[in-house]
Amino acid sequence: MNAKARGPIHKRIPEGDSRERLVCEECDFIFYDNPKLVVGAVVIAADGRFLLCRRAIEPSKGLWTIPAGFMELGETPEQGAAREASEEACAEIEIDALLAVYSVPRISQVQLIYRARLGGGERFAPGVESLETRLFSWDEIPWSELAFPSVTWALRHFDEMRGKTEFAPRLNPEKT
Amino acid sequence: MNAKARGPIHKRIPEGDSRERLVCEECDFIFYDNPKLVVGAVVIAADGRFLLCRRAIEPSKGLWTIPAGFMELGETPEQGAAREASEEACAEIEIDALLAVYSVPRISQVQLIYRARLGGGERFAPGVESLETRLFSWDEIPWSELAFPSVTWALRHFDEMRGKTEFAPRLNPEKT
């Protein structure tokens, strides 16, 4: 995508559309603002422990998360989830299945969360966005210090799907 | 989202980032350009026939598609798929399961395609983006006049999943 707009940007309904968009008043270039995709993975080591990262940045700085982040242009969701594991935990992962599709319409976000194994000799280390990376057994997971509700959902959904190779991806739990 | 940028927009790497973004040179507002989500559904009537729409707009004007389009802000993917069926075929649909997740990294697009039943008394009609809407039995599907490869994939994946209530969403077929 090239930077096409050179004039001021205003919000208006373009011709033939039904919704307000950000439009350059000089060249009519339209910035379509669409929901953002987050891609991530519940990653386990060969001994069944979970790879979690303690966040070095806001929001939820200091709390634990699975490797996840905004999908970038030009990649598949699986490549994006692997990139996030590399960036946040310096880890190589092997993606197995789509575990969950969560949506947060309030902030126009859709999350695709995969089930993955820790590869690359099980090496991992904090990336620039992490204070700490660690493997936790199920009983050690710091449930009260997880960064986002969807991290809790993803870990619980992983647990429900253990041993299953063919299953529908989980959706938001009730009462959210 | 408010129209925050008032100055010229250029492509550069913002501080602390690793990728080029569109940035307003006056106020540093960053336009993150992320992959777009398409949401749609394979919709069948009670007699098992498929609801298809003949496109009134480019790309692939005149060819047949399932109801699908870009997800909008503030909706869930399921709401978006239902909205597209309403806009393109004036149809009410009842979503049953996530059928497929297709990705087209070349154009930074991810598609979430659902399996759905035609509801609302099975009424349907062409919306403004459709020339014609029609129900087709499996043998009547105009395979050589489908608008996009992913329409073909979705119909074939629907056929593979008939009768299954719990299944992993299908991905891009090999060789695409």
Residue range B124-176, pLDDT digits in tens: 999 999 999 999 999 999 999 999 999 999 999 999 999 888 778 877 776 54
End-to-end CA distance of chain A: 36
pLDDT at A176: 45
CB–CB contacts below 8 A, A to B = 114
CA distance readout (Å), A111 to B34, B104, B112, B125: 13, 17, 12, 33
- Per-residue pLDDT of chain A (176 residues), as tens digits, is 334 556 777 788 877 777 777 777 777 777 777 899 999 999 999 999 999 999 999 999 999 999 999 999 999 999 999 999 999 999 999 999 999 999 999 999 999 999 999 999 999 999 999 999 999 999 999 999 999 999 999 999 999 999 888 778 877 776 54
Nearest-angstrom CA–CA distance, B135 and B53: 9
Cβ neighbours of residue B53 under 8 Å, at least 6 residues apart?
Answer: B64, B65, B66, B67, B88, B89, B126, B127, B129, B130, B132, B133
3-state SS assignment for residue B83: helix
Nearest-angstrom CA–CA distance, B123 and B92: 8
pLDDT at A1: 35
**pLDDT range class, residue B40, cuts 50, 70, 90:** very high
pTM of the full structure: 0.85
Determine contact: A113 vs chain B, CB below 8 A. Answer: no
Residues of A in contact with B98 (CB under 8 A): 101, 168-169
DSSP assigned state of B103: E
Of A3, A19, A77, the CB nearest to B9: A3
DSSP assigned state of A146: B
pLDDT digits (tens, 9 = 90+) for A129-144: 999 999 999 999 999 9
Determine contact: A6 vs chain B, CB below 8 A. Answer: yes
End-to-end CA distance of chain B: 36
Break chain A into its structural domains and give their ranges: 1-33, 36-160
Alpha helices in B2-148 (DSSP H): 77-89
For the A36-160 domain, the top CATH level (class) is alpha beta
Determine contact: B107 vs chain A, CB below 8 A. Answer: no
Q: Which of A85-89, B36-40, B101-105 has the lowest mean pLDDT?
A: B101-105
pLDDT at B4: 54
pLDDT at A23: 78
CA-based nearest distance A101→chain B, Å: 9
CB contact under 8 A, B32 and A36: yes
Note whether B1-33 and B36-160 share their fold. Answer: no
Q: Say whether the peptide bond before residue A169 is cis (omega within 30 degrees of 0).
A: no
pLDDT at B6: 63
CA-based nearest distance B65→chain A, Å: 21
CB contact under 8 A, A101 and B77: yes
Of A72, A105, A167, the CB nearest to B19: A72
Determine contact: B138 vs chain A, CB below 8 A. Answer: no
**pLDDT range class, residue B32, cuts 50, 70, 90:** confident
Fold of A1-33: Ubiquitin Ligase Nedd4; Chain: W; (2.20.70)
For CA atoms A39, B94, A149, A59, the dihedral sign is positive
Nearest-angstrom CA–CA distance, B28 and B15: 10
